[in-house]
Structure 1
Amino acid sequence: MTDWGQLYRDHVDAITALADGLTDDQLALTVPGTPAWTVRDVLAHLAGGPADGVTGRMDGAPGPEWTARHVGERAVVPVTDLLEEMHTHQEAIAASVADSPRPAVVWDIAVHHADLHEALGLGPVPERLWSPVVETLAPLVLSQSPATVRSGEGTYGAGGPQVEVSPYELFRALFSRRSRAQMRAWGAPALDDEQLAGLCVFGPRDDDQPVPG
């Protein structure tokens, strides 16, 4: 069973180590996975979301106005303070997800951590930080998918065209971080839009995303 609290702490530590060494130019890079945001904006969201969760400031969550507020309210906050805010709330967040079957805040930080790596041209986030997410979420999202998805040791879906994809690419696609064209390149170009939509929490997207080498 995954220790979601520890996984959250591990992401906070890894993101802190990553952000500590970023230049102003890197912080200003657009993040392809969330193209309305820069690298710095993603850090602001990762500080703001948990802060709201701890203080109960959840009006509008998890919608775009709620997440935009995280960024807007921290527009001039130094990055070091954003990282400190993440650490300030991490133990409360870790406690809150201890028995959760769907720890959305942990999944959120895992996805955005990978967003940052891809925006910065880095390799994938270490497998131990994302594999528990895809192993838990894939059966939930894909159980009724009109396709058969083979990934690592898992097979998901309710039947239909077969595709085979690496666990990391499935992790990214589940959270709508791969385009229709990228998903069709898995080996089943015949997948229609309905079948593709069944593979993504937020629906398929049209803009190709950077894939770590």
Structure 2
Amino acid sequence: MQLTDAEAIEEWTRAQARVIELVEGIPAAEAALPVPACPDWSVRDLLAHVVGYSTDALADREDDDHGAAWTQAQVDARAGRGIAPLVAEWRGNTGPLRAWMAEHGVRPLNDVVIHEQDLRGALGVPGAHDTPALAALRDRFAGRVADAVAEAGLPPLRLEGGSWSHGPADAAVVVRASGFDLARAVTARRSAGQLRSWTVQGDVEPYLDCFATLGPLPERALTDGAT
């Protein structure tokens, strides 16, 4: 699935609103909860990164590869700020970032869609499993997995999630799970053990590194919305 830039900007705006609704007014204890998908960060820290991305993009400080130093600097720069001032900063960026994306591209959409689910996993609040943005993200990152498979010299892999699939029908290795779980798997949010358990044909073991699109796979199983 592909989105036009105008559609992607609207999807970003909806995702921002959902995240704000999710975190606004949570008690300090919940803001301090660790994020299983981003184990070095708390809920507050992850929100600081998402907010900081918008501010850095507007200031022409976007890192080409979104490296760890760049993202951690966003968190460090907002150390000591609670949820309310972070939300206020982000709301102030909404209009300018919508205009920025219309001119420079819609990369911020991936970040907010992925991290919305990371935050939901930390807070135990499932939702937004069937958005157009998540479907587009799944297609894009399934393509990255397929590219990594080809670069590794492996035969093609097939992913099957309900009515969605990616890869040739005659693939020797087939991974089958919900469309949502596969969206999370191709963004390195599902463990090797989960991928093994979803393999219904062939041996997924040689393919596991291909799923590490955004860093190493988590060491333990993740089920977003459940702590």
TM-score normalised by the chain length of structure 1: 0.87
Range that drifts further, 156-165 or 122-131: 122-131
For 1:21, the equivalent position in structure 2 comes to 25
Alpha-carbon separation, structure 1, partners of 2:106 and 2:172: 30
Question: Residue 160 of structure 1 aligns to which amino acid in structure 2?
Answer: A
Aligned counterpart in structure 2 of residue 44 of structure 1, from 44, 48, 58? 48
Alpha-carbon separation, structure 2, partners of 1:182 and 1:139: 17
For 1:191, the equivalent position in structure 2 comes to 204
Aligned counterpart in structure 1 of residue 119 of structure 2, from 116, 120, 126? 116
Question: Residue 105 of structure 1 aligns to which amino acid in structure 2?
Answer: P
Q: CA deviation at 1:48?
A: 0.3
Q: CA deviation at 1:127?
A: 1.9
Unaligned runs of 5+ in 2: 150-155
Helix, strand or coil for the counterpart of 1:190? Answer: coil
Helix, strand or coil for the counterpart of 1:62? Answer: coil
Aligned counterpart in structure 2 of residue 208 of structure 1, from 191, 216, 220? 220
1:30-51 deviation line (CA, Å, top 9, x unaligned): 0010000000001100110110
Decide whether aligned partners of structure 1 residues 46 and 151 sit closer, same or farther in structure 2, where only a CA change above 3 A counts. same
Query: Residues 149-188 of structure 1: matches in 2 within 5 Å?
Result: 149-157=159-167, 159-188=171-200
Alpha-carbon separation, structure 2, partners of 1:60 and 1:155: 30
State the superposition RMSD in angstroms.
2.4
Q: CA deviation at 1:133?
A: 3.2
Question: What is the count of residue pairs matched by the alignment?
Answer: 211
Decide whether aligned partners of structure 1 residues 162 and 126 sit closer, same or farther in structure 2, where only a CA change above 3 A counts. closer
Range that drifts further, 91-100 or 106-115: 91-100
Alpha-carbon separation, structure 2, partners of 1:97 and 1:150: 32
Unaligned runs of 5+ in 1: none
Alpha-carbon separation, structure 2, partners of 1:10 and 1:112: 14
TM-score normalised by the chain length of structure 2: 0.82
Residue 105 in structure 1 maps to residue 104 in structure 2? no
Decide whether aligned partners of structure 1 residues 136 and 73 sit closer, same or farther in structure 2, where only a CA change above 3 A counts. same
